[in-house]
Amino acid sequence: MSRRTTDGRRILTAFAWLTTKDWLLVIDRDPTEPATPLREARRIELAALLIASLLVGGAVVFHTRQLVARLAAEDRSRVAAEAQLAHSARLVSLGRMAAGVAHEINNPLAAIGELAGLMEDLIDDQFLASSPHARLFQDNVRKIQQHVDRTRGITHRMLGFARRMEPHQDMVNVNDIANEALSFIEREASFRQVELIRQLDADLPMIKSDRAQLQQVFLNLLNNALDAVEDGGRIMVTSRAVADSVLVMVEDDGCGIPEELHDRIFDPFFTTKAPGEGSGLGLSICHTIMKGLGGSLSFDSAPGEGTVFRVRLPRTPV
């Protein structure tokens, strides 16, 4: 028979008199009870399926994001490589143009030098005694010769800097290369009253390396230092032999680099300069050059304390 309990549940009740005793056997049974294990199993199965679906979905999302991030990074690397190649092509074009300009300048310089030399040869004691302005004339001729020699030196440095872009290793004096790079910024430094300090080890050993690429590294570091310092600041270039390498340091007392930017300083297209004042490729290219030469480029910097870049070159080339 079916009946309801005091709490409203429906149960099935069966009863019978026992033959051995005057007892009545009563059995109550919940009609839903036999299906309980099945429903429990079904709930467990659904829960397991839900958890598995979440895990699979999470794994798919995670790996998809990783793949997208990897593709984005490869795309950025490709764009950076293309930009670096374009920049290198521009450097090659600029080098050729500079070489052409230097050659064109050298021709009239040679003529001016020869004419000034001829004028100086014509100045004798009789000429000096014949005119009250003869001494001034002689001094001016000598100044013309000095300026011609100075300009010729500048054009020769330009030719040396622009002569090659392809890697080529020779025995070089690192001090000479540093001095050549310093000569390119001397005039602007003098105009801004920036002190250029040289502490170059006179006993620095010759090493085998690429002269043109080292010129590019030093000139870029010096230009960056000049941009970083205020008028009246200081830039110091130091060289010395350290163990099996040659160390060159370019130090400035400029604004410094915030610590949170240190990890990005050699990234392509990253620059701390104002928009339009830097491509963000200089240090990246320098870092790549130094790795190719078997050396390293590192730095230390703090805001307000200046920056020091360290160029480390092996005595034995890779």
48-96, pLDDT tens digit by residue? Answer: 889 988 999 889 999 899 999 888 888 887 877 777 677 666 666 666 6
CA nearest to 174, candidates 295, 301, 300: 295
Distance CA 259, CA 271 (A): 14
Q: Pick the more confident residue, 73 or 317.
A: 73
170-314: which CATH architecture? 2-Layer Sandwich (3.30)
| Beta bridge partner(s), residue 301 | 307
Measured CA distances, 2 to 15, 17, 24, 32, 35 (Å) = 12, 19, 18, 13, 18
* pLDDT tens per residue, range 32-49: 666 566 677 788 888 888
Residue range 91-162 in CATH 1.10.10: no
The per-residue pLDDT of the chain, averaged, comes to 80
Q: What is the pLDDT of residues 111-148, one digit of tens each?
A: 888 888 888 887 777 777 777 887 888 888 888 888 88
Residue 237's DSSP bridge partners are: 198, 250
pLDDT in tens, 92-118: 666 667 767 777 787 788 888 888 888
pLDDT tens-place string over residues 148-185: 887 777 777 666 655 554 556 788 899 999 998 888 88
Q: Is the predicted pLDDT of residue 275 greater than 70, yes or no?
A: no
Other Cβ atoms closer than 10 A to 134: 16
Of these ranges, 7-21, 26-40, 258-272, the one predicted with the greatest mean pLDDT is 7-21
Q: Where are the domains of the chain?
A: 2-31, 91-162, 170-314
